[in-house]
């Protein structure tokens, strides 16, 4: 599976001021696979040390954090000399060995010639009991596979090329093909294990969809076990309740547009932001929930027009969203999934924007008007309206344009591209969200 983050790994490898690299992301997004592929392709030798699979490795870091000694003892473990000037060392599941995380500081200062990559779950690293090597580490973040990466795995290079041109309409045959493939992506989501098993079964859709949902249920169960491991039994119950409630808040969105997150009735006896802040922050830090802050004005800096208790929440993977709703995969494939269409579309766009390196996501609400996303490009703020179908009436967008006079505004929908140079409003197909 080709991941677009691979090019960033190459840049890191060739950098003159390279530091140890920490690749972060939620569990099951493909961090280990990506680093192993990188090691096989780009180095004479690579050595992977998994602290979860082999917990006794932690003993090597107990005596001291001197890089030369650590590498010498790791060489004994693998039975082969690790050459710092040539080889790649991978510390996998580094959150299971907090002292290994601290050691990155000393590898940066005393063995900068070594290419050292680490993979760790977001939450485990953030909750480490050891001091974090601030300023001594390079960071990359891996998200679930994007729609573009999904197409790459399906072997659709020509369709991928067409995603780059957001200003011109596609041939209708290409547009229809991409839309049908987007519905497949809505079913599978972007977790590599699920996509990998889905692709060989595509010629037998019933079997492929059944297996996909089974794998998604198993992955959700593994996440829930992870909650208890990191947060304890009581806290994990609250975390599960909040995560499962994210898609259930669809009942509040009869008009097809997601409203801000409501705290009441999520956890019995809890009804305020203060009551739910910890499990919500936990899920966001773990990379399992995407928070979109709600602004009451569309002016820079957007952050100053947000309140801590005003935000929308999305599931980090659109495939798991369908699983959590227990939505029949056939309904998604046939585009017959009712009021949830709008939520799926917004969840997909949130995923694509995060994977495109958006540091934070914002939306806009004033009185009875709302815009799903605001894109901050330099000094410009571009409103982004999301529609799941071909109906693109956007009353809120017109009110936004009248008030803020943006240079351009974008509507993502089922429609083909309509990009008139003399018009403020640009129409772009939903599947091109990652190209914006």
DSSP character for 156?
Answer: -
- The pairing of beta strand 369-377 with beta strand 361-366: antiparallel
Within a 10 A sphere around the Cβ of 48, how many other Cβ atoms?
A: 17
Number of domains in the chain: 2
Assess whether 320 and 240 both reside in one domain. yes
Please identify, among 103, 124, 141, the residue that sits at the C-terminal boundary of a domain: 141
Element (DSSP H or E) covering residue 333: helix 329-333
User: 75 and 206, same structural domain?
Assistant: no
Tell me the angle at which helices 98-110 and 67-78 cross, rounded to the nearest 10 degrees: 120
In this structure, the answer to whether residues 10 and 90 fall within a common structural domain is: yes
Rg of the chain over Cα atoms, rounded to whole angstroms, equals: 23
CA atoms within 13 A on the CB side of 296: 8
Residues 342 and 430 placed together within one structural domain of the fold: yes
Query: Based on the number of CB atoms within 10 Å of its own CB, is 272 exposed (0-12), middle (13-18) or buried (19 or more)?
Result: exposed
Determine contact, residues 382/356, Cβ cutoff 8 Å: no
The predicted structure's pLDDT at residue 401: 96
User: What angle separates helix 147-154 from helix 172-188, to the nearest 10 degrees?
Assistant: 100
Are residue 130 and residue 200 in the same domain, yes or no? no
Q: Is residue 250 part of a domain?
A: yes
- 42 and 160, same domain (yes or no): no
Asked whether residue 221 falls in the same domain as residue 78, the answer is no
Chosen domain end from 103, 125, 141: 141
pLDDT for 338? 79
Based on the fold, state whether residues 16 and 156 are members of the same structural domain: no
Q: Which residue has the tokens 């690579």?
A: 46
Strand order in the sheet with 88-92: 46-50, 88-92, 115-121, 21-25, 138-141
Strands of the sheet containing 306-315, edge to edge, are 306-315, 289-295, 361-366, 369-377, 380-386, 409-413, 425-429
Residue 1 has a pLDDT of 85
Same domain, 194 and 268: yes
Domain that holds residue 349: 147-435
State pTM to two decimals: 0.93
Q: Is 182 found in the same domain as 43?
A: no
Candidates 341, 419, 3; CA nearest to 170 is: 419
Per-residue pLDDT tens listing for the chain (436 residues): 889 999 999 999 999 999 999 999 998 999 999 999 999 999 999 999 999 999 999 999 999 999 999 999 999 999 999 999 999 999 999 989 999 999 999 999 999 999 999 998 765 545 455 567 878 999 999 999 999 999 999 999 999 999 999 999 999 999 999 999 999 999 999 999 999 999 999 999 999 999 999 999 999 999 998 887 777 766 889 999 999 999 988 656 655 567 889 999 899 889 899 999 999 999 998 899 999 999 999 999 999 999 999 999 999 999 999 999 999 999 999 998 877 888 899 999 999 999 998 879 999 999 889 999 999 888 999 999 999 888 877 799 999 999 999 999 999 999 999 988 889 999 999 999 999 8
* Structure tokens that stand for 101 in this block: 């995380």
Strands 361-366 and 21-25: unpaired
Assigned domain for 1 exists? no
Domain contains 339: yes
Choose the final residue of a domain: 79, 112, 141.
141
Does residue 403 sit within a domain? yes
The answer to whether residues 130 and 153 belong to one domain is: no
Q: Is the peptide bond before 301 cis (omega within 30 degrees of 0)?
A: yes
Alpha helices in 113-189 (DSSP H): 122-126, 147-154, 157-162, 172-188
Place of tokens 């947000």: 306
Q: Where are the alpha helices (DSSP H) in 164-317?
A: 172-188, 192-198, 205-231, 233-248, 273-285
Domain assignment present for 14: yes
Q: Does residue 378 fall inside a structural domain?
A: yes
Provide the CATH number for the domain around residue 104: 3.40.50.300
Indicate the DSSP class of residue 196. H
Q: What per-residue confidence (pLDDT) applies to 131?
A: 64
pLDDT at 342: 86
In a domain, 320, yes or no: yes
170 with 59, same domain?
Answer: no
């Amino acid at each position: 599976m080709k991941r677009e983050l691979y090019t960033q790994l190459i840049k890191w490898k060739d950098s003159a001021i390279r530091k140890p690299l920490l690749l972060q992301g939620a569990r099951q997004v493909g961090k280990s696979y990506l680093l192993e592929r990188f090691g096989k392709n780009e180095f004479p030798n690579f050595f992977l040390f998994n602290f979860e699979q082999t917990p006794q490795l932690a003993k090597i870091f107990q005596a001291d954090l001197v890089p030369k000694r650590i590498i010498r003892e790791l060489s004994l473990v693998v039975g082969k000399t690790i050459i710092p000037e040539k080889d790649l060392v991978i510390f996998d599941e580094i959150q299971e060995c907090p002292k290994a995380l601290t050691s990155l500081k000393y590898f940066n200062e005393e063995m900068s010639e070594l290419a050292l990559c680490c993979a760790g779950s977001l939450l485990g690293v953030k909750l480490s009991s050891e001091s974090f090597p601030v300023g001594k580490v390079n960071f990359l973040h891996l998200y679930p596979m994007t729609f573009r990466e999904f197409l790459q795995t399906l072997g659709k290079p020509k369709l991928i090329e067409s995603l780059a041109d957001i200003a011109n309409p596609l041939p209708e045959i290409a547009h229809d093909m991409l839309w049908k493939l987007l519905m497949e992506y809505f079913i599978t989501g972007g977790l590599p294990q699920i996509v990998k098993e889905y692709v060989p079964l595509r010629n037998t859709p019933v079997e492929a969809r059944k297996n996909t949902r089974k794998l998604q249920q198993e992955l959700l169960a593994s996440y829930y076990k992870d909650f208890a491991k990191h947060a304890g039994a009581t806290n994990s119950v609250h975390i599960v309740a909040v995560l499962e409630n994210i898609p259930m808040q669809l009942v509040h969105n009869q008009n097809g547009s997601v409203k801000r997150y409501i705290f009441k009735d999520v956890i019995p006896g809890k009804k305020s932001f203060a009551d739910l802040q910890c499990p919500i922050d936990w899920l966001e830090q773990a990379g399992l929930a995407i928070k979109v802050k709600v602004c009451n004005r569309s002016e820079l800096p957007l952050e100053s027009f947000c309140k801590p208790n005003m935000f929308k929440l999305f599931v980090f993977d659109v495939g798991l969203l369908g699983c959590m709703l227990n939505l029949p995969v056939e309904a998604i494939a046939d585009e017959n999934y009712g009021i949830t269409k709008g939520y799926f579309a917004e969840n997909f766009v949130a995923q694509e924007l995060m994977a495109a390196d958006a540091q934070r996501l914002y939306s806009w609400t004033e009185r009875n008007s709302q815009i799903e996303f605001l894109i901050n490009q330099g000094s410009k703020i571009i409103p982004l309206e999301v529609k799941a179908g071909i109906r693109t009436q956007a009353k809120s967008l017109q009110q936004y344009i009248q008030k803020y006079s943006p240079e351009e505004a974008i509507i993502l929908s089922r429609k083909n591209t309509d990009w008139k140079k003399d018009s403020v409003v640009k129409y772009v197909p939903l599947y091109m969200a990652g190209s914006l």
